[in-house]
C-alpha cells in the first residue's frame, strides 16, 4: 500500500496503491502534473477495492495526492493514508519517501527478553515540541532532542519515555491526538531517519520508547480519511456512531476488516520500522462505549440493545493478539477510564488482552485528596485507602499525565494547598506516594522540577526555574526517588500480586497518616510511612512483623530536598510492645508533609577464626 519506490520491467519509479472501493476514478495528482490526476489514472483491481499503478520516472521527494472522483461525480484530492512522509503543516500533500538508509545499533536491546511485570517501569511522558525549544521558539529536530534528552533521562533514573502522538496531524494544539496521516511520522521535527536515530540512542542507553497511539478516532480535515472515496469508508456510516461531537472527530468503523487491518498494520509498523517498544492506546473507553459523552437519543445501541461497542472490543482483542504474536514483550497500555472488566486479562479468558491499564481511579482519587485543604483531609482519608481495594484487579500503571496539568487544572505543584514551602513538601509527598504504591509509574514532563504554571502546550517548559533553590532541590529529590525505585526490588518485583503489599495502618485518618509494607520476592521489604499533614508527629508507633533493627533509607524531608531536615540518623530498634496486630513495634518521628522509608538492617556474619 502507499507509494513504494521500486523497479518494474527494468524501469525505476513508484507503485501507488490505495483502497477506494466506491470511487469512480482515482488518479495521481502531483507537482509534476499541476495537481490534476485526470490523465494519470490508477487501475482498479477487480473485487478488491484497490487501485494501483506503477509510474516510471517518479523519484523520492515527489509531492502527491490522490485525485478521486466519487460515485456521485464529485472530484477532490486526498492525502495517501499509507504515506510515510507528509508536508510540514499547514501544507497537506504526501511525499514519496524511503524508510531505509539508517543503520541501527540497538541489536543488544532488541535481543533482551524483558517481561515487564516483575521489572521496574518508570515512564517520563514528553511532548517533543514543548520539552525544550530553540531561542526563537522553533522546534529542535529528533536528532537534537535525542542528544539532550537521553543523558537527562539517564541522570533522572527513568526507565522509559512515552512520547505524545507523532503521526502527522494538521493542528499543533491537538497535541497529535487528531490525526490525518497514521503512517507518516510528523515532519515537525525532521525525517524518518532522524527519528530512527532518536529511538536508537534511547535503546543504546537502556531506555525504552513508548508511543502514544490513537486508534479511536481521526480528524475531519478534507485531505484526510473522512469520506475518503466519497463515502463513509474509514468511519461508521451511521453518524450517531461515527461522530465524536466533544472532540470534533470521527470514529473508525471497527467492523470492517480493511479498517482493522489498517490500524493493526499501523501498530506493527511503528514497532517494525521504528523499533518502538510499546503503545499507549489512547481513549479506549470512547471506543468501547457507544454512549461515550453522548446523551440519550444521540447514540445508537448495539444489536442486543446495549451500549457496548462489541466490534471495538473484538478489534482490541485482535490488535493485542497480533502485536504479542510478533512482539511478546511489547508494552500495550490502555488509557481506559471506565470499569470495563478484564482490560488486562488474556483474550483467551475473555479479556481485551492489554498488559497494562492506566489507573485513572487512583489518579483521580489521589489528586482530589492532595488538592484538599489540610483541615478537611481527615474526612477524605478514604481517597487514600480505597484505591488499594482494586489495585490488583488489573495490571496498573499509575499516571500523573499531561491531562491533569492543562485547561485550568493547574500544575501538580500549584494543586498543593498551603504556603510556598508546603506546596513543595506536598509535591514531594505526592511523588513519593506514587512511587511506593503498587503499579508502574508515569510522570509528565515538568512535574519532576515543579513547573509552577500549568503546561502551556505551545511554549517550552520553564527550565529557568532550576535557577531557584526550591525547584533545584525538588529536581534532586525526584532523581533520588527514581534511583531508589530502581534499586529496591520491593517497589516493583510484586507489583501485581497481594504478596507485594501489606497495610500496617490504613485507618489513622485523624492524623492523616498511612503506613504499609512493600515486599520483594526474596526479602528486602520496605516500611513506608506518609504524613499528609504539615504537623510533626513525634513518638509515632507502628507495629512491625519482624523484630530487629531498622534504618531510614529515604526521607522526603531531607534538607538537600528542600525539607526541614527532620531525619533519623540513628538505627531504630523494635520493642516488645504489641501494636497494629504485631507482637513488636517501633517508634519514630514523622516529619510534616513527609515520607519516611525504613528497611531492616542485616547483621554482618561472623567470620570463623582459622
> Residue 578 sits in a domain of what CATH number?
2.60.40.1180
Q: Write the pLDDT tens digit of every residue in 296-320.
A: 889 899 989 999 999 999 999 999 9
Biggest CA-to-CA distance, the chain: 99
Please state, in angstroms and rounded to a whole number, the distance separating the CA atoms of residues 487 and 504.
23
From 95, 129, 145, the end of a domain falls on: 95
Work out the pLDDT band at 172, boundaries 50, 70, 90: confident
For the residues 584-594, what does the mean pLDDT come to?
A: 96
Dig out the grid coordinates for 440 from the structure: 508502574
Tell me, what's the pLDDT at 114? 80
Strands 278-281 and 513-520: what pairing?
unpaired
Res 598: pLDDT = 97
206 and 109 Cβ atoms separated by less than 8 Å: yes
Domain boundary among 73, 95, 117: 95
For residue 12, which of 129, 111, 135, 98 has the smallest C-alpha distance? 98
Instruction: Report helix, strand or coil for 372.
Output: coil
Helix axis angle, 360-370 to 420-436, nearest 10°: 150
Q: How far is residue 380's CA from residue 370's CA, in Å, rounded to a whole number?
A: 10
CATH code at position 14: 2.60.40.10
Q: How many domains does one find in the chain?
A: 2
Average pLDDT over residues 192-208: 96
Whether the CB-CB separation of 344 and 364 falls below 8 Å is answered with: no
- The model's pLDDT over 32-47, given as tens digits with 9 standing for 90+, comes to 899 999 999 999 998 8
Task: Outline where 341-465 has alpha helix (H).
Answer: 360-370, 382-389, 412-415, 420-436
Residue 608 has a pLDDT of 58
For 325-330, the CB contacts below 8 A with 24+ separation are 326/268, 326/271, 327/271, 329/113, 329/114, 329/115, 329/116, 330/271, 330/277, 330/278, 330/279, 330/355
Q: What percent of the chain has pLDDT over 70?
A: 99
| Residue 45: exposure state from Cβ atoms within 10 A (0-12, 13-18, ≥19) | exposed
H or E segment to which residue 332 belongs: strand 331-334
Instruction: Report yes or no on 522 lying in a domain.
Output: yes
| C-alpha torsion 516→600→570→573, nearest 10 | 80
Q: Is residue 515 part of a domain?
A: yes
| pLDDT for residue 604 | 59
Taking each helix axis from N to C terminus, what angle separates 469-487 and 420-436, rounded to the nearest 10 degrees?
Answer: 10
- Listed in sequence order, the residues at least 6 apart from 523 whose beta carbon sits closer than 8 Å to its beta carbon are none
Is the bond leading into 288 cis (omega within 30 degrees of zero)? no
Calculate the alpha carbon distances from 502 to 200, 339, 382, 497, 544 in Å: 40, 25, 17, 11, 11
Tell me which residue of 571, 566, 573 sits closest to 589, measured CA to CA: 566
414 in a structural domain: no
Residue 518 falls inside a structural domain? yes
* 316 part of a folded domain: no
**Strand segments (E) across 356-500:** 356-358, 396-400, 440-444
Mean per-residue pLDDT for 394-412? Answer: 95
Kindly state the average pLDDT of the residues 5-30: 95
Judge whether 456 lies within some domain: no
Eight-class DSSP state of 555: E
The pLDDT confidence band at residue 606, using thresholds 50, 70 and 90, is: low
Range of the domain at 589: 499-600
Q: What is the mean pLDDT of residues 575-582?
A: 95
pLDDT digits (tens, 9 = 90+) for 592-605: 999 999 999 977 55
Least confident range from 109-118, 177-186, 190-199, 314-323: namely 109-118
Half-sphere exposure of 118 (CA within 13 A, CB side): 10
Tell me: the pLDDT tens digits for 351-360? 999 999 999 9
Among 66, 95, 124, residue at a domain's last position:
95
- Which sequence positions are flagged as catalytic? 282, 335
Mean pLDDT throughout 265-275? 97
Q: pLDDT tens-digit profile of 213-251?
A: 999 999 999 999 999 999 999 999 999 999 999 999 999
Lowest mean pLDDT among 108-117, 118-127, 290-299, 585-594: 108-117
Tell me the three cell numbers of residue 385. Answer: 485507602
pLDDT in tens, 374-401: 999 999 999 999 999 999 999 999 999 9
The residues, ordered by sequence, that sit 6+ positions from 198 with a Cβ below 8 Å of its Cβ are: 142, 143, 145, 146
CA dihedral of residues 164, 390, 341, 209 (deg, nearest 10): 20
Please give the pLDDT value at position 609: 54
At 322 the pLDDT is: 98
553 occurs within a structural domain: yes
Distance CA 319, CA 281 (A): 11
Quick check: is 72 in a domain? yes
Of 398, 370, 399, 394, the closest CA to residue 383 belongs to 370
- Residue 372's pLDDT is 97
User: pTM for the full model?
Assistant: 0.93
Whether the pLDDT of residue 11 is over 80: the answer is: yes
Say whether 432 sits in a helix, a strand or coil.
helix
Residue 64 has pLDDT above 90, yes or no: yes
Question: What is the number of helices (H) and of strands (E) in the chain?
Answer: 13, 29
Looking at residue 115, what is its pLDDT? 84
Residue 297 has what pLDDT?
Answer: 87
Positive or negative torsion for Cα 494, 498, 503, 504: negative
Amino acid at each position: 500500500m502507499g507509494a513504494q519506490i521500486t523497479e518494474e520491467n527494468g524501469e525505476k519509479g513508484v507503485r501507488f496503491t490505495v483502497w477506494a472501493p466506491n470511487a469512480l476514478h482515482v488518479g495521481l495528482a502531483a507537482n509534476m502534473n499541476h495537481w490534476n490526476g485526470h490523465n494519470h489514472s490508477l487501475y482498479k483491481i477487480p473485487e478488491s477495492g484497490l487501485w494501483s499503478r506503477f509510474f516510471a520516472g517518479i523519484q523520492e521527494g515527489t509531492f502527491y495526492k490522490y485525485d478521486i472522483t466519487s460515485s456521485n461525480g464529485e472530484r477532490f484530492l486526498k492525502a495517501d493514508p499509507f504515506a510515510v512522509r507528509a508536508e510540514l503543516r499547514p501544507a497537506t500533500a504526501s511525499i514519496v519517501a524511503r524508510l531505509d538508509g539508517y543503520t541501527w545499533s540497538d541489536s543488544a536491546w532488541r535481543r533482551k527478553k524483558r517481561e515487564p511485570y516483575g521489572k521496574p517501569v518508570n515512564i517520563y511522558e514528553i511532548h517533543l515540541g514543548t520539552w525544550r525549544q530553540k531561542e526563537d521558539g522553533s522546534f529542535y529536530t529528533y536528532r537534537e532532542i535525542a542528544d539532550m534528552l537521553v543523558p537527562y533521562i539517564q541522570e533522572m533514573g527513568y526507565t522509559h519515555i512515552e512520547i505524545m502522538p507523532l503521526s502527522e496531524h494538521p493542528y499543533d494544539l491537538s497535541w497529535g491526538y487528531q490525526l490525518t496521516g497514521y503512517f507518516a511520522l510528523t515532519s515537525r521535527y525532521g525525517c524518518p531517519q532522524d527519528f530512527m536515530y532518536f529511538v536508537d540512542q534511547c535503546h543504546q542507553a537502556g531506555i525504552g520508547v513508548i508511543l502514544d497511539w490513537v486508534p479511536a478516532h481521526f480528524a475531519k480535515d478534507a485531505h484526510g480519511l473522512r469520506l475518503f472515496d466519497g463515502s463513509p469508508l474509514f468511519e461508521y456510516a451511521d453518524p450517531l456512531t461515527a461522530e465524536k461531537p466533544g472532540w470534533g472527530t470521527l470514529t473508525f468503523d471497527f467492523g470492517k476488516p480493511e479498517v482493522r487491518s489498517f490500524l493493526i498494520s499501523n501498530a506493527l509498523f511503528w514497532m517494525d520500522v521504528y523499533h518502538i517498544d510499546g503503545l499507549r492506546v489512547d481513549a479506549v473507553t470512547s471506543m468501547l462505549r457507544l454512549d461515550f459523552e453522548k446523551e440519550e437519543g444521540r447514540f445508537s445501541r448495539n444489536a442486543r440493545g446495549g451500549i457496548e461497542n462489541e466490534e471495538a472490543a473484538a478489534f482490541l482483542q485482535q490488535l493485542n493478539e497480533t502485536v504479542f504474536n510478533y512482539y511478546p514483550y511489547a508494552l500495550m497500555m490502555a488509557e481506559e477510564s471506565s470499569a470495563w472488566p478484564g482490560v488486562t486479562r488474556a483474550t483467551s479468558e475473555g479479556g481485551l488482552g492489554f498488559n497494562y491499564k492506566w489507573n485513572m481511579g487512583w489518579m483521580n482519587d489521589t489528586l482530589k485528596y492532595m488538592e484538599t485543604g489540610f483541615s478537611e483531609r481527615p474526612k477524605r482519608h478514604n481517597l487514600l485507602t480505597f484505591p488499594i481495594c482494586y489495585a490488583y484487579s488489573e495490571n496498573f500503571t499509575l499516571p500523573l499525565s499531561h491531562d491533569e496539568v492543562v485547561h485550568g487544572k493547574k500544575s501538580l505543584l500549584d494543586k498543593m494547598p498551603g504556603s510556598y514551602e508546603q506546596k513543595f513538601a506536598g509535591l514531594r509527598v505526592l511523588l513519593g506516594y506514587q512511587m511506593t504504591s503498587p503499579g508502574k509509574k508515569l510522570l509528565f514532563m515538568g512535574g519532576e522540577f515543579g513547573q509552577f504554571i500549568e503546561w502551556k502546550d505551545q511554549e517550552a517548559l520553564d527550565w529557568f526555574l532550576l535557577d531557584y533553590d526550591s525547584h533545584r532541590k525538588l529536581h534532586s529529590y525526584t532523581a533520588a526517588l527514581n534511583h531508589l525505585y530502581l534499586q529496591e526490588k520491593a517497589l516493583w518485583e510484586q507489583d501485581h500480586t497481594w504478596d507485594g503489599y501489606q497495610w500496617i495502618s490504613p485507618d489513622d485518618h485523624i492524623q492523616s497518616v498511612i503506613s504499609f509494607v512493600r515486599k520483594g520476592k526474596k526479602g528486602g521489604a520496605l516500611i513506608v510511612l506518609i504524613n499528609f499533614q504539615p504537623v510533626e508527629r513525634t513518638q509515632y508507633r507502628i507495629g512491625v512483623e519482624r523484630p530487629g533493627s531498622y534504618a531510614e533509607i529515604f526521607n522526603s524531608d531531607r534538607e538537600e530536598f528542600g525539607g526541614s531536615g527532620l531525619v533519623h540518623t540513628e538505627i531504630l530498634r523494635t520493642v516488645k510492645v504489641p501494636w497494629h496486630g504485631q507482637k513488636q513495634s517501633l517508634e519514630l518521628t514523622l516529619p510534616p508533609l513527609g515520607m519516611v522509608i525504613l528497611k531492616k538492617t542485616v547483621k554482618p556474619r561472623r567470620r570463623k577464626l582459622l
